[in-house]
Amino acid sequence: MSTPGWTTEKPTALLVLADGTVIEGKGIGATGRTQAEVCFNTALTGYQEILTDPSYLGQIVTFTFPHIGNIGANDEDIEDLTPAARRGAVGVIFKADITDPSNYRSAKHLDAWLKARGVVGMAGIDTRALTAWIREHGAPNAVIAHDPNGEFDIEALKAEARAWSGLEGLDLAKEATSGQSSQWSEKPWVWNEGYSELDAAQHHVVCLDFGVKRNILRLFAGLDCKVTVLPATATAEDVLAQKPDGVFLSNGPGDPAATGEYAVPVIRDLIDTGIPMFGICLGHQMLGLAVGGKTEKMHQGHHGANHPVKDHTTGKVEIVSMNHGFAVDAKSLPENVEETHVSLFDGTNCGLRIKGKPVFSVQHHPEASPGPQDSHYLFRRFVNLIHEKKGEPALAER
């Protein structure tokens, strides 16, 4: 890959790949350096939600859209549950300089916001060339470094990039989880009104938090569900002690097989209870492991807000938001498990359900934030399983 960089005499940021490639740029965001996997995201909007998605922990996000930051940052578009802990992407790469914000909701310049969150970034590189390289070679391990004085030990950075173990075998859910139980009652955002609170709950959902996004919890609250959030290491006994009407397995970062060492036995025990269960992203992958399937590391992963997925249960195609570097191997699923959704980009598995049980999951992010809302119906599908269990009339999925 060529190494086009920022046209200054001395670069203030470097991206050093594990194969020794060095890409020069202009430093933005926090100073310092960090090891991570480099991925690319094709979304045109929602950069703040992307960078605060805990599923991006351990990753450097390259935005293919060239103009990032022009609407600034605010306190409403944050997706990690505990923003003070700054769980999300550890690095970011832009093509163009960050411009001054121009949006009535902006509260802070994106560069200042990146600094406050400790996200190391760079601008001024050919992101199309980097994306093409990732498509050909796969998501690389790398080090991103920012020094305003342009003082870098390139050989040391190359050694750090080579030495990093990568995401395979890495349990990051313990870092992404909120780590304690909490209650959630905030409902979805409404234009020019903001967020409101759930007054009276009709159902109680327990969320196993492997790195949950706020908008997932908001959509549950919008369907009259009180949500109790439990840490990733919660046991089946901890979940059942809450007397839930349903259980949600959240999204999160890292290798599902590694997190599954402690989470999969819990999921199996909960399946046996007959409680309705719904999983997203990492939760979907670990449900696949719990039923006897296998997961695999993807070549470049799926990251964007324009991915077509087909729901075999309805025959409809929806455009969805995705963020994952591992996938369930559909061929490894047992006969009592049905593949419900599939990616129309590459045919990878995007959903499953256990036949005869109120348990299903999807690989993509139906809560969006950012992205289209085509898949919001899945939350109603889950709540309807609770209604069915209680003998109550079903909601329209719409």
Residue type, 296: E
- CA-CA-CA-CA torsion for 333, 338, 343, 349, nearest 10 degrees? -20
Is 204 annotated as catalytic?
Answer: no
C-alpha dihedral sign at 31, 138, 262, 53 = positive
> Could you say which of 24, 281, 341, 350 is catalytic?
281
- In the three-class reduction of DSSP (H, G, I as helix; E, B as strand; rest coil), residue 379 is classed as helix
List Cβ neighbours of 381 (8 Å cut-off, separation of 6 or more).
360, 397
User: 367 catalytic, yes or no?
Assistant: yes
Tokens of 311: 């729901």
Catalytic-labelled residue, pool 146, 364, 367, 376: 367
Q: Which tokens sit at 355?
A: 């036949």
Active-site residue, from 284, 341, 365, 376: 365
CA distance 223 to 188: 10
Closest residue by Cα to residue 348 from 381, 308, 318: 308
Is 281 among the catalytic positions? yes
**DSSP code per residue over 107-153:** -B-HHHHHHHHT-EEEESS-HHHHHHHHHHH-SPEEEEEE-TT----
Active site residues: 281, 365, 367
